[in-house]
Structure formats: structure tokens, C-alpha cells
Amino acid sequence: MVLLITGANGQLGSELNNILQRGASELGALPAAYEGCEVLAVDVDELDITSPGAVDSFFSRHKPDLVFNCAAMTNVDGCESDEERAYRVNALGPMNLAVASRKHGSRLLHVSTDYVFDGLGTRPYVETDEPAPNTAYGRTKLAGEKAVLDSCGGSCICRTAWLYGYVGNNFVKTMLRLARENGRLKVVGDQVGNPTSAVDLAYQLALLGASRESGIFHCTCGGDPVSWHAFAERIVQRAGLAVPVESCTSGEFPRPAKRPAYSALENRHLEETIGNSMRDWKEALDSFLEQYLEQEKNV
């Protein structure tokens, strides 16, 4: 079986490539379907998904059986200032992959986001809730979802949120750095969601890829939804950093793109099909910090 990972240099793509190459995750072994597979891990320098010709040519040469689209423009504020570029990457790119997948008989798993919802809810969103994005990032990602579902039947849309991993920048690493540099933190307490480890998401994607399921799936770590402030408190506590973490409002940190006040997701479709393998966010975070802090010592 030939596997294609786009966006392979990002925190999710790199983690997915890692477990597919090893045949196992810290959460467990991968399905037997992946034994002996060939993994094509590419980023924009090797495959520009916004070019339909480049995508079709790549598929013609390599004939992937399963495609994991981890490529995206995820800079939320950057999307707000350049929605045209965001649309090319987040909507036209997935459409090109979907059209090529249908033409060449590939199966496509496309990663999306909690930003497709307006954030005005009061309970975790399920897959059947109506999206209503109010940011350029959310609008372009929703357009990508629709393009995939319309262009390639049998595809999976995997929405996630508040992602962090070993590669690249993310909230966890930023909180550790600022806590060490400043000796205190000030973090918004009026935005609520699901912190999600790339380790857990990559493993769940691999399980979905080996299944015959299709449609929309929410894939976030479990446990009670939490604010960024409470998330930060857990990070510094488990890292052994005795620094105060002050709560503030979103209005004290104005950003070009409006952040959703409540964007927690429920993994209902996973529960109803292959099962939900995503850990409680606290357990996943503790595991990540243990390994990440050990890596820091050895650098």
C-alpha cells in the first residue's frame, strides 16, 4: 500500500509520518493493513496542492492508495489579512486532492478545524451541527470540507482543535518559553475548547485510514472542555514551573481574527463507528511534557 502525507513538515504531518514509518504509536500498534507500506511524506516544496496539474501528475506517477491531507494555512490572523491565499491552500488544495483521489482510486482523509463553527455554543459541537464560520480561516476550511465531500465520495473529514506536537510552534511550547522568560503568565480565560495532542490525532487518523468509514469525524482529546487559562495552568504545573498564571479576557488581547468563545467538539461519530482512541487531554498533555522536557535536556 502506498500512503501519501501532505504537509509532512508540520506538527501533525511529521507525527503521522513518524508512526507510519515505525508501525506503532505510543498509544499502540498500527493496524496490520499498514505492514510493508510505502510512505510518501511531502510538503509544498515537493507537491504544491494548489496546482491541479502538479497534483494530478504526482498521483499519476506514485498512485497513492491512501492520502492524509495535513497541509493547510493555519495562521488564523494571516488568513484574515490574505483570505485569497488562504482559500487557495485551504479550499482549492483539498479540492485538487479530492479530484485526483477520485480519478486515481485513492482514499482521502482531510484534516479540518473547530473554526468551522461560530463559537457561540454552550455544549460540545457534534458532527451534525450546522457550521457557521466567522473568520477567514474558518470559511476557507469549511470550503475545503465541502470540496472534498462533493468531489470524492468515501472521504473522511477529521476536525480537530488546539493542536500541539513536538515539531514547530504551538501553545504549549509558547507557555513554557514565556513562563521561563517572564516568571509569570497572563492568559485568556473566556475561550473554551479541547487541547489536542498530535500524537493522539495521528494515531486516530491511522485507525480511520485503515477502516472503511467515511464522512465527518470530530477528533480531539477528551475530558471536560477547558479554557486557555486553565490549559496554561496545567502546562506550567506539570513542567514544575512555579509561576503565577493570571486570567484575562479576550478583549485585553485583541487580534485581527475573532477567536471562538466556545468551540469544544464531541467525538460522537468515532464513538458510533470505530471507537474513540483519543485520550483525556490531561493525560495526553502529561505524556507530551514528560517526553518533550526530556528532549530539551538532551539538546
The Cα 165–Cα 175 span in angstroms is 14
Per the DSSP assignment, residues forming a β-bridge with 160 are 113
**Which of helix, strand or coil describes residue 134?**
coil
| Residue found under cell 487518523 | 205
What are the b/e assignments for 61-72, b being 16+ CB within 10 Å? eeebbbbbbbbb
φ, ψ of residue 157 to 5 degrees: the values are -105, 125
The Cα 55–Cα 93 span in angstroms is 9
- Give the number of other Cβ atoms within 10 Å of residue 224's Cβ: 12
Nearest one of 144, 248, 233 to 195, comparing CA atoms: 233
First to last CA, the chain: 36
Per the DSSP assignment, residues forming a β-bridge with 66 are 3, 107
Looking at residue 156, the DSSP 8-state letter turns out to be: E
How many angstroms separate the Cα of 72 from the Cα of each of 35, 112, 145? 28, 9, 12
Active-site hit among 34, 87, 137, 164:
137
Nearest one of 73, 91, 197 to 146, comparing CA atoms: 91
Q: Please confirm, yes or no, whether 164 is among the known catalytic residues.
A: no
Residue 115 grid coordinates:
473554526
Could you give the residue numbers annotated as active site?
137
